[in-house]
Amino acid sequence: MVFIKHMHFFFGLEVLPSKGCDGSVLLDGPSSEKIALPNKNSLRGYEVIDAIKSKVEALCPGVVSCADIVTIAARDSVAILGGPNWKVKLGRRDSTTGFFNLANSGVLPGPNSSLSSLIQRFDDQGLSTKDMVALSGAHTIGKARCVSYRDRIYNENNIDSLFAKARQKNCPKGSSGTPKDNNVAPLDFKTPNHFDNEYFKNLINKKGLLRSDQELFNGGSTDSLVRTYSNNQRVFEADFVTAMIKMGNIKPLTGSNGQIRKQCRRPN
């Protein structure tokens, strides 16, 4: 499950799975998706899932999959941070291998993706343009690494100049390839620890941190939807929940397929 790619605060939201909702991204080893280019040094929170899994196994061994834990944890994290709550379908099972090559093949949208690329990547997984924009609202929380937004804050024109200068302080222009690549900035500088619709308001004001963020409001087909979400948090939350449920149902392993891992980092 590679949904965590750009959510940057927990597992489960916003970006597409490389294979399906199967907990594959949690696995270590040579085929681990953790070391695929879109994910390396970017994904976080594995230890949180490990801790949850350990407690669940102690009380209810061999019943709750890592994939289900990821899905529930994502829902609960959104609710705890002031966002909506929703019912989560359970019964997913875990893959026995990671999908490094697939995760590295371009199926995952990157921080420099164009609007057309974003639409296509989500469509490939059965998610609509509305789903994509709503799920992108997960960037109301979390952080991104300097290496993923450096080019935008120095070289692009569709960005508020004061916002760009503020981000440049922690992301020097000539620091590529240095540890400063890993300096982080909030995806939503206004309310980075609260789930709301400020992300969309930022886009209207040309304060999207990533190029792929600002692409949602850059004279294209999604501008009107961004305006709708910026003006009506309830509509955004309703569409977000709908899209999250759809995403959580992408190609799950069920029945006798896969397994219920005892530890999320390795197959049984």
pLDDT digit string, tens, across residues 98-135: 888 888 887 788 899 999 999 999 998 899 999 999 99
pLDDT of the residue at 191:
96
pLDDT of the residue at 17:
52
200 pLDDT above the threshold of 60: yes
211 pLDDT above the threshold of 90: yes
How many residues are recorded in the chain?
268
Mean pLDDT check: name the lowest of 14-18, 81-85, 109-113, 243-247: 14-18
The mean per-residue pLDDT over the stretch 132-154 comes to 94
Q: How confident is the model at residue 3 (pLDDT cuts 50, 70, 90)?
A: very low
Contact 19, 102 (CB under 8 A): yes
What are the distances in angstroms from CA 148 to CA 23, 152, 203? 25, 8, 17
pLDDT of the residue at 1:
35
User: What token pair was written down for 147?
Assistant: 């290496």
Q: How confident is the model at residue 158 (pLDDT cuts 50, 70, 90)?
A: very high
Rounded to the nearest integer, the mean pLDDT of the chain is 89
Residue in the block written with tokens 């199926």: 107
pLDDT of the residue at 166:
97
Q: How confident is the model at residue 169 (pLDDT cuts 50, 70, 90)?
A: very high
Dihedral pair phi/psi, residue 169, rounded to 5°: -60, -30
Q: How confident is the model at residue 175 (pLDDT cuts 50, 70, 90)?
A: confident
Q: Rounded to whole angstroms, how far apart are CA atoms 56 and 62? A: 9
Q: How confident is the model at residue 5 (pLDDT cuts 50, 70, 90)?
A: very low
Q: Rounded to whole angstroms, how far apart are CA atoms 74 and 70? A: 6
User: What token pair was written down for 40?
Assistant: 């390396």
Neighbour count for residue 35 (Cβ, 10 Å): 17
pLDDT of the residue at 40:
78
Model pTM?
0.90
- Could you give the 3-state DSSP secondary structure of residue 3? coil
The mean per-residue pLDDT over the stretch 217-243 comes to 98
14 pLDDT above the threshold of 80: no
Q: How confident is the model at residue 16 (pLDDT cuts 50, 70, 90)?
A: very low
Mean pLDDT check: name the lowest of 4-13, 55-64, 111-120, 130-139: 4-13
pLDDT of the residue at 207:
98
Q: Rounded to whole angstroms, how far apart are CA atoms 131 and 33? A: 24
- Percent of the chain residues topping a pLDDT of 90: 71
